[in-house]
A and B are shown apart, each in its own frame.
Chain A
């Protein structure tokens, strides 16, 4: 019995007999699946008509204001769909007086009460014997704490406040004690904890997603027979392999289904190709079934092992979408004959092309600014004079040598280099000053001649106060390569920034602009 079946049975029993006023379902692994399970429970109860159930399923993210919550809840409970022709009006009570229930919580209570009267009337007409329940399900209930924390108490005490047979069900991947209001204002809920889903249940669920072949596939990427019913057996084996490879990283059924959807068309293609060849050779379609023997199946599995790992690496962080990936990873015709062939190189997630893309899209000055920002974020401000200060006598920079000083001993605290602690924020002026030094030392001979500047350093001085530099800084901030830490609307202070590139990127940029060794400029070199 899967975890969700356990949940379903418990919940349906509760609802069918005497439900507690407040149920809290905690599922840390996959809230979407949990929500689906609850919905199917409700569906089943409605179909079985054990009790008359009016139910509203809300979402803590979608209902981000109280008014949205009231509107959605009442409309769903009253089974009312606002339509455009009548001006999208909400459910307005049985009397059709155009009452307003969404103004505040009192209004909502009034709404619930008039709903009760309406339902009572209907009940007496239709089926006087069955019991009658109201259910309010809130998914992502933890988000209520951010948006409307004062509503949580009232929602959990709805049955008390309305004197109705109403049950509030909260679904969350946080635990109740992490979101409950202080001072015990809410009643203790009836807890249902959902354990992580097991392998068998996951595989069952994945297999149940196998698309129905009665719907004809009309897709340019995959062949129409990809999801032929006879291939389902192979699919189940495929899922088993997939689970084996991916489970150390994720066991989320949704993620696995996503990867499977992208990988399966390519996996099954050699089989389909082989079949087509046979048909082309004159065999009849019925004669050539979709059955795949053990031998070819093992061969396929072996062949695709590495490719499934690639799919995981690319698709789990969503570097590309499943469709794109499936398009670009259709195996070649002769894949079965070249068993030993390694997966094509483009499948590998190589960081190098990423960088070249970045380094081409920004200008030379932007690289200077980013390197200066990196130095400003890594070096302590106090070291600037020693690192970048240039006196008339050009004395040698004094720098702390030998990397980190480790003070192991009484204090026990190890000083971690700033580079590993993350960037520190710096004011714009400091960035510009460091930029000036970098430009003066590495850019001076690449500039076009300017005879109007006579004093040494004057050219750089003018260069760093030009508008282009400032606009470049803003542009880099927009590109997320610099992070602005001070609010944009405060004009009276010097804006603060934080560097957004890593050590490796800074090193590459430094080489590109002619700084051979960025370590020379770092206070605590790596």
Chain B
């Protein structure tokens, strides 16, 4: 504890107090067992591995989807950057050359779009280099665009900004920490700080680029990426644009702005002067973001036949996603956070060990059996069996079952059951996805698609997904069937063609399984009489639609088939043996982790410190079944029993708007005095009880001392105690100050202001 010695050193003005060792984080989780009563040894680590696998699969899928969503915009931006200085994109007759600027606006956040754009720029480079060098990667390949990044934190002033801009190109280092200029074929003497051009002089950049042009013609585009554009100093940026526009005929600069404000009303137009805007050839594009993207990602990750997530989201998590994204902020990042947290929580459960296989971390089935047959695993086996029996009771009588001894299965039988249940659960989820997609196809063809990406519309779609997960689609199916009955021959044909296309696009296995549906569709399609396919829109008398007599019975047939098909496919996923291994189900989402309320939590903890600590312990241990947790939630603690800061805070809550610090100290000292007396008494009592065992005396004395004040042994002790009280007061006061509960006023030095009022107990 060097810091304590520093306290006595008068030359030190600042002392760092190290955190107590017992408070530091412990990353070692090898012996962490949250559920000892129903887990196998090392289960937690195995489940973390399973989690990692499942999460990685889901994350990769989401990344791929986002990549695909961004693709059109990325292509647009990359093409714009490439051709920004070509004749194609410059209008003849302009009074002066403009600075090409493209802003990518992503309100709500789309952190990946810029990375994708830069990736695309690089890829184009590589592609062109590959063509030039007949496919062989050459170190002397010349890039078509050189990218430099500017961040607002590095550029507080114009000088900083220009320096970052110039050195971003001139002093580039590539990944292998070599001078990147040599790769471009540039050589130079070392610049001197004093007699060469200043490193914030755009002349330096011009000289560099002129030299570059000698070895590479046409020269590359100089792409400047301005991150967090809104945070840059507005005047500095405007001056920078002016300076760049003076040299734009010699330097093919292209600016790429990362905007977090919406494209309309535009941040640039509201903050920049017109004279600056006149220098720019500005284009602002909106990145895909918001609720629509969230919906797309959820749909394609969890409700698409093409992809099978290892763990399906349950209604509780979906509810939370919908609530959070519609209410607070909708972005892919938030969505990923939620899914990841839900997965993490899901894999707390011991049984999720079986998510991917039944090997339990060993290499073969034998190994798994060996692990299960160890005496430590009996708890786990017992729990598994109870669960299976419980699920079996809820299973309908006519459901197919595996041919094993259900009442007294062996360990290997249990593993078989698990494998069988996994297959079943996956099949069920797959059917649900299939059914949902068929339903959507039908929905799109019976209703006219509304183009508006309205919030409420997207929200509705999201809610629908949630209902599908809960299996509540009867109403929708009925509505669809009704709509189909009214369809004309042409529309019916269109619908069947679309369905047929969809079934054809499935993978081989599913296509095989859906043989019957496909045959039905093809057969029905041929029954539609050819004359009814004539477009009825050409009908001049819309009031009397000519309906072919063969159509209504056909339509009814299709509606009935569809109703039956959808009802068998879309079923609740929270059924079947061990269903909750592959579904997060109704487990509530730990929203406090994502969206906590720090201040009320701190206040509650200060008011009830033992409860806060106790509940933390309960959270970490299994629900209070283990010994060692000394916590009785009903016990009311006396004031003197509380920690210093809580004593101080109690008094704080009782005070008026202003608190006199001296009075506060007095009352604190009083509480501490009680504390000292009580503790001392307790100590004496325990000493006495020990001595009583030996001598059998002293009862009288104990009675006597109960209401007697316990003084100090010496004057010195009393002084020491007083100093201690003061130190404890100051320490607790500073902690409160640090947490923002105290506001100092200049008017009265000995008074502080409260910052928190009206706390319900």
Interface residues of A (CB under 8 A from B): 32, 59, 61-62, 64-65, 67-68, 71-72, 75, 81-90, 92, 98-100, 102-103, 209-211, 217-222, 226-227, 253-255, 257-258, 260-262, 264-265, 316-324, 326, 353-354, 357-358, 360-366, 448, 455, 458, 461-462, 465-468, 471-472, 475, 478-481
Contact = CB atoms under 8 A, between A and B. Distances in A.
B93 A321 contact: no
Given A254-B95, A318-B277, A480-B267, A84 B283 contact: no
B327 A62 contact: no
Given A61-B243, A64-B239, A472-B329, A220 B88 contact: yes
Contacts of A480: 230, 261, 267, 270-271
Contacts of A221: 91
A253 B95 contact: yes
A65 B90 contact: no
A62 B243 contact: yes
B455 interface: yes
A64 B760 contact: no
Given A59-B246, A65-B159, A86 B211 contact: no
A455 to B, nearest CB: 6
Contacts of B93: 209-211, 227, 257, 260-261, 264
B283 A466 contact: no
B65 interface: no
A12 to B, nearest CB: 24
B193 to A, nearest CB: 10
Contacts of B210: 83-84
Given A261-B94, A323-B91, A61 B239 contact: yes
B92 A87 contact: no
Contacts of B191: 87-89
A71 B203 contact: yes
Nearest to B158: A64
Given A84-B207, A87-B192, A364 B91 contact: no
A261 B278 contact: no
A211 to B, nearest CB: 4
B265 A479 contact: no
Contact of A468 (B194, B242, B328): B328
Contacts of A85: 187-189, 211
Contacts of A61: 239, 242-243
Interface string B188-217: 111110111110111110011011000000
Give the interface size bracket for B toward A. Answer: 35 or more
B752 interface: no
A210 B265 CA distance: 34
A430 to B, nearest CB: 13
B157 to A, nearest CB: 9
B598 interface: yes
Interface string B78-120: 0000000001111111111010000000011000000000000
29 contacts: A68-B200, A75-B203, A83-B210, A84-B211, A86-B189, A87-B188, A102-B194, A227-B92, A254-B278, A262-B91, A265-B91, A316-B274, A318-B269, A321-B281, A321-B282, A321-B283, A324-B283, A358-B264, A360-B455, A361-B290, A363-B326, A465-B600, A466-B597, A468-B595, A478-B231, A478-B260, A479-B261, A480-B230, A480-B270
B280 interface: yes
Contacts, number: 225
B87 A62 contact: no
A45 B611 CA distance: 90
B195 A219 contact: no
Give the residue among A88, A92, A102, A317 with the most B Cβ atoms within 10 A. A88
B493 interface: no
A405 to B, nearest CB: 33
Contacts of B228: 478
Contact of B329 (A81, A92, A265, A468): A468
Contact of A258 (B94, B198, B271): B94
Contacts of B146: none
Contacts of B281: 321-323
B405 to A, nearest CB: 43
A32 to B, nearest CB: 7
Contacts of B283: 320-321, 324
A366 B263 CA distance: 17
Contacts of B324: 468
| Shortest 6 CB-CB contacts between residues of A and residues of B | A84-B211, A87-B189, A261-B93, A361-B107, A257-B95, A318-B277
Nearest to A147: B158
Given A87-B190, A321-B98, A480-B270, A326 B91 contact: yes
Given A83-B207, A478-B230, A363 B108 contact: yes
Given A82-B203, A88-B204, A319-B269, A465 B598 contact: yes
A98 B193 CA distance: 12
Interface string B448-462: 000001110000000
A286 B283 CA distance: 41
Nearest to A429: B755
B330 interface: yes
A398 B190 CA distance: 76
Contacts of A363: 108, 325-330
Nearest to B760: A455
A67 B330 CA distance: 49
Contact of A89 (B195, B277, B326): B195
Nearest to A99: B195
Contacts of B187: 85
A467 B230 CA distance: 23
B88 A218 contact: yes
Contact of A71 (B189, B201, B271): B201
B341 to A, nearest CB: 14
A507 to B, nearest CB: 16
Contacts of A323: 89-91, 281
